Amino acid sequence: MENKNVNVVISDGDSFYCHELSANFNPVQFVLDFKSITPRVDPRSADTPTISIKHNVVLVEPFHAKQMLGLLTTVINNYEKQFGAIEKPRAIQIAEDNLKKSQKGAAKAVKTDVSIPSYFG
């Protein structure tokens, strides 16, 4: 077999820090939605908070999703062997505890089954 040269062009995407991830599926693919959520200050509307949400969606076949799971499991296990167990940051645990307490107080005042998503962890 004859060796042939091939030119490869790689286009790098923009760097993207993910704060939140949602994963869904349908019969033929998994849908991974990586979200970056950033509060913004707009001096023109100081009374109304502004939140900027950017997202990148990645679609993968079920077989590839399972391959990703195996890869992430291996990488996380190697990370924890080298650096120790990955644990939830204390600040997040405190914020979750405070949210639960405030929701219990609110539940006594108004009974509802609707939960409001938090975009800040």
Q: Which residue has the higher pLDDT, 40 or 115?
A: 40
What pLDDT is stored for residue 27 in this prediction? 94
Q: Which amino acid is at 12?
A: D
13-60: CATH architecture: 2-Layer Sandwich (3.30)
* pTM, full prediction: 0.63
Here the tokens at position 24 are: 């869904």
Whether the per-residue pLDDT at 12 is higher than 60: the answer is: yes
Token pair 């890869």: residue: 71
Residues of the chain with CATH 3.30.1040: 13-60
For the stretch 64-85, pLDDT in tens is 999 999 999 999 999 999 999 9
pLDDT average, residue stretch 1-29: 88
For the stretch 26-41, pLDDT in tens is 999 999 999 998 888 7
What pLDDT is stored for residue 118 in this prediction? 53
39, 35, 38: which is closest to 20 by C-alpha? 35
Whether the per-residue pLDDT at 115 is higher than 70: the answer is: no
pLDDT average, residue stretch 85-113: 81
The whole-angstrom separation of Cα 52 and Cα 41 is 10
**Residue 75 main-chain phi, psi, to 5 deg:** -65, -45
pLDDT average, residue stretch 1-5: 83
